Amino acid sequence: MATFLYKLGRLAFRRRHFVALIWVALLALAGVGAAGAPAAGTTSFSIPGTEAQKAFDLLEERFPGASADGATARVVFEAPSGTKIADAGNKAAVQDAVRALGDGSEVVSVTDPFRTRTISEDGTIAYTQVSYEVSGMELDDAAKDALQDAAQDARDGGLTVEIGGDALQAVPETGATEVVGIAVAAVVLVITFGSLVAAGLPLLTALIGVGIGVSTITALANVLDLGSTTSILAMMIGLAVGIDYALFIVSRYRAELAEGREREEAAGRAVGTAGSAVVFAGLTVVIALVGLAVVNIPMLTKMGVAAAGTVVVAVLIALTMIPALLGYAGRRVRPAGHKGRLQGGGRGKGAEGAGTGNGAGAGKGTAGKPNMGTRWARFVVRRPLAVLLLGVIGLGAAALPASSLELGLPDDGAQPTSTTQRRAYDLLSEGFGPGFNGPLMVVTDAKGSDSPKAAVDEVSDAIKKLDGVVTVSPATFNEAGDTAMISVVPDSKPSGTETEDLVHAIRGAGGDITAETGAKVVVTGSTAMNIDVSEKLNDALLPYLALVVGLAFLLLIVVFRSVLVPLKAALGFLLSVLAALGAVVAVFQWGWLAGLMGVEQTGPVMSMMPIFMVGVVFGLAMDYEVFLVTRMREAYVHGERPGQAVVTGFRYGARVVSAAAVIMIAVFAGFIGSGESMVKMIGFGLAVAVFFDAFVVRMAIVPAVLALLGERAWWLPKWLDRILPNVDVEGEGLRALDGHGRGRDEREPVTA
């Protein structure tokens, strides 16, 4: 592989005009497609096969035209202070709004609060429910405009009016902190390279890669039913890995220049060595993201595949466009150590990050002073047990809050207080109780019962006896009289654990009724659907973890030609993920530093969070493992002792890996400013996870474990060594080349 990538790097360097033209053309094509595509909606959490989905399907069959999965809007009216909603002027404004809402396009039904008596006990708050014939994603702009216009007319009549439900989808906003993350990345790159040109290359290529990936997602959003958060998450991951991958190749290029090689040769060797690590690091990320498909949740699968596609683009750009741009940059990208003052002291040949070699004199610059990576590695090698225990205990302490993890899916109560959905949620909670924001729909299929009406009455009576029930509406039968709908309002909020317990209690009672009467009882509605999705995610976590870690473990055995090194990498990853989940629980569930993070409403952690963190963080964690430990293996296979190989690996790679981690943390942290609670939580969780994994696991625990294991760290059974393919990540095959892209025994010159 190293030889192939070496030739690819040289080719891209020579044919830079052609390579640049291809990527610019792809960016323009994706941009044109995105500009002409309709905006993406918000994906549904529904899962085929769940009880809630089966109930929706049953309603569609038995109640034709009822649009069971159609969008709904709850328009909430609050009377001015000192008045009642039933006062003449207020009542007229409400009734005018109801009439206007009924005239809207795609509307199936509108309730009149004065007829349905949906007025709070104190008489100040009322609501009307608007049902549509299509889902929220399919609702056209005219219907949404009519809904908002009717609400505005009521506001003009003196009422406070807010709109909840899924008819108006809040568009996620990432906020200005996203730009701050990129700015931090730029500063880190300038400090690392000591050159504006060298620092600009990773940023430029990452932005081009993300532009292609996100524009393609936007262009295909409606065709593939991709949600608005899909492109945001793809941008988050693509930007982080795109900068990191380019950073490693540019760093290696400068190191090869410091070894005295010509620029084309240096570009080829940089792609052949660091590029090999980029390919395998990218593969681990792709495996983790595509592996989300095993969860069998369409929304999650699409998010994972879309983000994986962006990562693939980032890898390809790093392997081709970076050497092409290095050709354009020419002498403006200087050898490593040339900007010595910006890098903490002049270092010439043999400087940190220098090219391959036997590592003699590792850790010393031209002045003989060891760099920081060398000093830290020597400290760890001298005291490996103490460093290991401190790192494990520290991560264990950070992981403790994860033992109190409560999972759920966000509802309108998790929206920012600036949105009308959140204000409608709060008004309903104030006037009717939190359960009104998430009523349960109990569907009774009495087709197999001797007396459908008696069976439905028994269901209603059984539900009324359960704890946590506020009201049970009269049953609504279909025309055939064999199926009934019953609306149940709990006394707890939709995302509360008490509501989840009530759903299970109703289903349990329904099982007893089925045994007695033959009538089947199922629970649905958005709240029940969210509960079913959460349980599906929880059940899939361990199988997904086993699949992804297992595949990556096999891949890393091929890369490192060791059994214990991949095992140590996987265990370290589990530590960092648990610690990051602990931090997420502390902030988003317990409320620690909630104000600083912009968390307006604490509650259960999004049920998608653990499995998504496992997928993304594992891939990113393996990036640092591959980049750092391949340097150590390179030194080890060239004859260094295990302890010295650890020091050499840190001398060459610690500064660049640290810079890459800081960049990735900055990019992820930038998404904490998002107005979408899911994006905010994922941005925070990934930023914390990268911090723990890069600076505690990879920089402390990994060298400590390798120092304790010694020669055993690189042990591989002979039979396994014989059957494993030799991918040559260390670039050993490049040592046989003469600097012109040919073997020592080749005589024909390579045309430049």
* pLDDT tens for each residue of 3-26: 888 889 899 999 999 999 999 999
474: left (phi over 0), alpha (psi -120 to 50) or beta: beta
The confidence score (pLDDT) of residue 359 equals: 35
Residues of the chain with pLDDT > 70, as a percent, come to: 87
Q: Which range has highest mean pLDDT (273-287, 544-558, 695-709)? A: 695-709
pLDDT at residue 40 is higher than 60: no
CB-side exposure of 604: number of CA atoms within 13 Å?
21
The confidence score (pLDDT) of residue 649 equals: 87
Amino acid at 20: A
Query: Rounded to whole angstroms, how far apart are CA atoms 475 and 485?
Result: 6
pLDDT at residue 657 is higher than 70: yes
Query: Rounded to whole angstroms, how far apart are CA atoms 407 and 543?
Result: 18
What one-character-per-residue DSSP string does 282-321 give? HHHHHHHHHGGGGG--HHHHHHHHHHHHHHHHHHHHHHHH
Q: What is the mean pLDDT of residues 512-516?
A: 83
The confidence score (pLDDT) of residue 584 equals: 92
Q: Using 50, 70 and 90 to split pLDDT, how confident is the model at 677?
A: confident
Is beta strand 125-132 parallel, antiparallel or unpaired with respect to 160-165? unpaired
Query: Rounded to whole angstroms, how far apart are CA atoms 658 and 654?
Result: 6
pLDDT at residue 722 is higher than 60: yes
CB atoms within 10 A of CB 685: 27
pLDDT at residue 705 is higher than 90: yes
Q: Using 50, 70 and 90 to split pLDDT, how confident is the model at 475?
A: confident
pLDDT at residue 342 is higher than 50: no
Instruction: Determine the 3-state secondary structure of 140 from DSSP.
Output: coil
The confidence score (pLDDT) of residue 25 equals: 94
The confidence score (pLDDT) of residue 376 equals: 92
Query: Rounded to whole angstroms, how far apart are CA atoms 127 and 103?
Result: 18
Q: Using 50, 70 and 90 to split pLDDT, how confident is the model at 291?
A: confident
441 DSSP 8-state letter: E
pLDDT at residue 663 is higher than 90: no
Residues of the chain with pLDDT > 90, as a percent, come to: 20
The confidence score (pLDDT) of residue 357 equals: 37
Query: Rounded to whole angstroms, how far apart are CA atoms 493 and 3?
Result: 60
Q: What is the mean pLDDT of residues 459-473?
A: 89
Q: Which segment of 417-431, 488-502, 596-610, 638-652 scores lowest on mean pLDDT?
A: 596-610
pLDDT at residue 422 is higher than 70: yes
Quote the radius of gyration of the chain (alpha carbons, Å): 30
Query: Rounded to whole angstroms, how far apart are CA atoms 181 and 355?
Result: 30
pLDDT at residue 41 is higher than 70: no
CA 334, 336, 338, 344 torsion-angle sign: positive
Q: Which residues pair with 606 in a beta bridge?
A: 408
Residue 307's Cβ-count burial label (10 Å; 0-12, 13-18, 19+) is buried
Q: How confident is the prediction for the chain on average, in pLDDT?
A: 81
Q: Please give the structure tokens belonging to residue 697.
A: 């696991």
Query: Rounded to whole angstroms, how far apart are CA atoms 660 and 657?
Result: 5
What is the distance in angstroms between the CA of the first residue and the CA of the last residue of the chain? 22
The confidence score (pLDDT) of residue 581 equals: 92
What's phi and psi for 125, nearest 5 deg?
Answer: -130, 140
Query: Rounded to whole angstroms, how far apart are CA atoms 520 and 513?
Result: 8
Residues listed for the chain: 752
551 contact partners, CB below 8 Å, separation of at least 6: 287, 291
Helix runs in 448-496, H state only: 452-464
Convert the pLDDT of each residue in 375-384 to its tens digit. 999 999 999 9
What one-character-per-residue DSSP string does 510-532 give? HHHHHHHH--EEEEESHHHHHHH
Convert the pLDDT of each residue in 249-275 to its tens digit. 988 888 888 888 899 998 988 898 888
Convert the pLDDT of each residue in 100-147 to its tens digit. 988 877 888 888 899 888 899 899 999 998 888 776 666 777 888 888
Q: Please give the structure tokens belonging to residue 653.
A: 């790679």
The confidence score (pLDDT) of residue 737 equals: 60
Is the Cβ–Cβ distance between 519 and 456 less than 8 Å? yes
408 contact partners, CB below 8 Å, separation of at least 6: 495, 496, 497, 500, 530, 531, 534, 603, 604, 605, 606, 607
Instruction: Determine the 3-state secondary structure of 481 from DSSP.
Output: coil
Residue spans of beta strands (DSSP E) within 14-141: 72-78, 107-110, 125-132
CA dihedral defined by 61, 64, 65, 69, rounded to 10 degrees? -20
Q: What is the mean pLDDT of residues 505-533?
A: 85
pLDDT at residue 554 is higher than 80: yes
Q: What is the mean pLDDT of residues 165-177?
A: 61
Q: Using 50, 70 and 90 to split pLDDT, how confident is the model at 282?
A: confident
The confidence score (pLDDT) of residue 356 equals: 37
**CA geometry: angle at 543 spanning 542 and 548, to 5°?**
100
Distance from the Cα of residue 421 to its chain's centroid:
24
Is beta strand 440-445 parallel, antiparallel or unpaired with respect to 520-524? antiparallel
Q: Please give the structure tokens belonging to residue 718.
A: 């002979």
The confidence score (pLDDT) of residue 380 equals: 93
In angstroms, how far apart are the furthest CA atoms of the chain?
99
Residue found under tokens 């090869």: 256
